[in-house]
Structure 1
Amino acid sequence: MAKKKINYVTKESSTGANYIMAFRPEDYDIFEYRINKPIAVKDPNDTSEFDMHFIVQETDEIKINSKHKLEYFIPNNIALLLSISDKALNRGLQIYKIYLNPDKPENDITKYIKDEQVGFLKEKSRHYCDYIEEIETAIVFAYTAVEAFANISIPDNYIYKSAEKDGILYEKKAIERWTSLAEKVSVILPEIYDVKSIKSKSFYNHFKLLEEYRNAIIHQKSVERADFFKLYFKGNINEICKSSESVIRFFYDAHKESNRINPLWPWLIGNEKDFPIIYDDLSNIQRKD
């Protein structure tokens, strides 16, 4: 039997959005890592040997004016944050490689005569500032991606007893506001996802540095001047920024094994066919081929 693709569903969702559908999971080809994952909808009444179900991709729209609207697949916030961080990191590393790398002869100030050195330093200072802008963008958005992931992972009815704060009980909103991200990642999320400690992973130390660097950016003190900029020139800045995806993947892989994929999680490279699953009666869905 030939498989038949479904182009779209005419039935609207509760938000007024339409659904774009593929007939089988293998028919779905990912075209953009920054949008929400599609959802596999299975009919609990379907007992056929083919295990027929749909992959559903939801759309939304923005009303631009009285005549026009913008329709789109819904972006995934965590994926956008990771994408912003990754692009900024790549731009920053490219700036360093071309203009700042001291191993390149053309970046050696001693090769210039004294009268040329001031102009050379002016040019290098501009590249220095460009590099810092990109790296700080990468740091802040990488950290924010993990923070967003941690917060959506906490169930609404979850209660956390903090050992660090004399056994104070925290509900979800209080956890989001008053608990450090390191505590969420190292204590709360392992409990929620029922996994072993993340602290034993090599990338966790890089994540701790990511949090340290981010806090230095957001909570700057006048006495520090700009000395923390110098940390961005260490050889591990790539691993520090990339630790955000490593943290998310750690919990993603652990949770995936129990087939409980959160539809709010981002796409990750290598997990293109991991779809969240819901069960719903599909008999009354109107389809256009």
Structure 2
Amino acid sequence: MSNDGVSATTLDPRLDFEAAWREWHRLHEEARADPHGFLAVTDLHWLTPGPQRFPDVPGEWHTGDEGPVVVLGAGGRLVIDGRQVQDRHEFGPIAERGGVTVGIEGGVLEVARRGGRDILRPRRPDHRLRVAYRGTATYPPDHRWVLSGRFVAFDSPRPTTVGAAVEGLTHVYDAPGQIEFAVDGVPLSLTAFNGAAPGSLSVLFTDATSGVTTYPANRSLAVAAPDEQGLVTLDFNRATNLPCAYTDFATCPLPPAENRLPIAVEAGEKTPYERLAVDSADRS
């Protein structure tokens, strides 16, 4: 779930605090602008049991218990595992939050499952959002926002249903526990989900800056695995936007209700320029 994309082990341990943060941010921005990353997504298609065609995707598609199926007509082709497919292809059932990427003319196609539904997302390197991307504004890195916390595990992982950036969609995650910490003497806690690396954690949150200087729906923070005493470090300087902050073709999860912090976390990434431009156009 985390959109960090850059592990601590990627960075040179000899770098000082600000230099390490700048290097992390540079690598994170490079990963975000990948030719087939989420900035390259051009559309979001929801598959149904009935056959459908889409103007930017080859073939006729449907889904059901057998998973997504495509029937390619004359001239249509996909590249799957290095092999050209020009007739019918069955993808098989796709696990929740799973997916495969196949080649299409001019880019790739993500075939995935989100919120219990199968989707298609074409990704093209020449998409205007990616081509015009100019980086994401951030707060200056500040030692004040590197906080110590303690991970408190639940007796058993707690299934947690959260909303999504797409109206009517929900996600369910197993929360292994919560992180307790304090800011200026105010005790706080955040429900944590499992992170990308084994044992690591991922936190979705909003705070008093949300909708003011930061994206209103969510931000994400990757947290390294707790030590033997359950101690963790929360470096909010590395709080990042999820894809939905940039594109309406994302299905990102929203934070659990208890992760709405009553304080202003003036650290990490701010609202993207692209979203500010869209909101400004909507108001005009």
Pick 1 or 2: higher relative contact order, CA cutoff 8 A, min separation 6. Answer: 1
Q: Based on CA coordinates, which of the two structures has the bigger radius of gyration?
A: 1
- Relative to the length of structure 2, the TM-score reads 0.24
1 or 2, which has the higher helix percentage? 1
Q: When you count strand as a share of all residues, which structure comes out higher?
A: 2
